[in-house]
Amino acid sequence: MRRPHTPATTRLKERWAELRLEGKFTVDAPPEHCLSRLRDPLWLGKCLPNLSSLELIGDKEFRAVFYLNLAEMAKVAGYLSRIRTDMRFTYMETSPGEVRVAGDGRAVGAKISIDISVRVSSKDDGSVLEWVSIVDLGIIQRLLGEETVRRVADKQIGLLTNCLSEALRKGV
């Protein structure tokens, strides 16, 4: 017998459905340079942690296969210590000073989605990049728990933002 769809079960489903992450960092590069680079999937791919492959699908679409290393984050079965993630990303239309990428894919057979927006603004001789990411990991989050997912996300975000900061600063 199915459980009735009550407000309590709705709240639980909503709680597990999405994870919101946000932050900002400053780089010593002009906003135009930052925006140009962030809109280039081949350049962006150089900073994606544990990237296995990146394939351009169209003008504003790409497919990325990468791995999430969970071994040090959680006590999980060996086959789950390194999760292969296969996603298709699309650049979405936004305002001139913003880049938005939305992606859908699968990890360990579960459907996942990520929506990332980066707003770039001028500051002194550089730029401030303010980002927001909405992540829906579905059953993966329920299996691993929100705390583990946040630790993994924080590590991946740290690797990504450090690489982006360095690459943008150097003008690469």
pLDDT at position 142: 80
pLDDT 10s digits, 11-60:
444 444 588 889 999 999 999 999 999 999 999 999 998 899 999 999 89
Contact 168, 160 (CB under 8 A): no
Q: Which domains does the chain have, with CATH numbers?
A: 18-170 (3.30.530.20)
3-class DSSP state of 50:
coil
pLDDT, tens digit, 9 for 90 and up, residues 130-168: 999 998 888 877 877 788 788 888 888 888 888 998 898
Q: What is the DSSP string of 123-138?
A: ETTEEEEEEEEEEE-T
What's this model's pTM, rounded to 2 decimal places?
Answer: 0.80
